[in-house]
Amino acid sequence: MFIGLILLGILAVAFIWVIALYNGLIRLKNRVDEAWSDIDVQLKRRYDLIPNLISTVKGYAAHESATFQKVTEARTAAMTAHESGDAKAQAKAENMLSDTLKSIFALAENYPDLKANQSFLELQRELSDTEDKIQASRRFYNGNVRDFNTKIELFPNNIIAGMLKFTKREFFEVENEKERENVKVEF
């Protein structure tokens, strides 16, 4: 009888622990999903700004069609990757889009009238602000992914997480090796 009570107590504690672990995993999974949604919101904002930026620049630099084509193609690729839900493909496409956007701003250096245009300056400021928000969202997402992955990899959580079909999430990483290098500043 006494041993039966002890076994029942152990089972009750184990059951409560599994419930607490499951709830913790769900909480972390939802944070990761929320963080991914934050990235989506900022990317949508960027996608909406790009056509306005291109049309403003086109008026000043009509013969730079190759640059506009590259930006448009990169935007389309990023939107397609976004719809696929594949974090790795989306990170790669977003990094490519960031690179092509830099070419638009480099192009503006050749057109002093464009650099002074209020619409261009406002779009440039908004896009820069959006890029900052995207970076913050990526860091927030990666922090949540780190916490989630750590929780499901720790022993004995990994046993229960595996049985409940929780899987590791991918980090949003820089794919382009050039972006990892230090920036060279010359005056």
Q: Could you tell me the two tokens for 43?
A: 């990317």
Looking at per-residue pLDDT, the higher value among 101 and 116 belongs to: 101
pLDDT at 23: 93
pLDDT score at 78: 81
Tally the C-alpha atoms within 13 A of residue 81's C-alpha that lie toward its C-beta: 20
CA distances in angstroms from 186 to 26, 57, 70, 108, 183, listed in the order given: 49, 27, 28, 20, 10
Burial of 60 (0-12, 13-18, 19+ CB in 10 A): middle
Residue 126 burial (CB count, 10 A): 16
- Is it true that domain 37-135 has CATH number 1.20.1440.20? yes
Predicted TM-score of the model (pTM) = 0.64
Does an H or E element contain 13, and which?
A: helix 2-58
Q: Say whether the peptide bond before residue 156 is cis (omega within 30 degrees of 0).
A: yes
Residue 48: per-residue pLDDT = 82
């990235």: which residue's tokens?
39
Higher pLDDT, 80 or 143: 143
pLDDT given for residue 117 in this prediction: 67
**pLDDT over 70, % of the chain:** 79
Average pLDDT, the chain: 79
pLDDT in tens, 40-95: 888 888 888 877 777 776 666 655 667 767 777 887 888 788 777 777 777 778 77
The structural domains of the chain, with segments of one domain joined by +, span: 37-135
Question: pLDDT digits over 112-127, tens only?
Answer: 666 666 777 777 788 8
Share of the chain above pLDDT 90, in %: 25
Ramachandran region of residue 144, left (φ > 0), alpha (ψ -120 to 50) or beta? alpha
Q: Say if residue 147's pLDDT is above 90.
A: yes
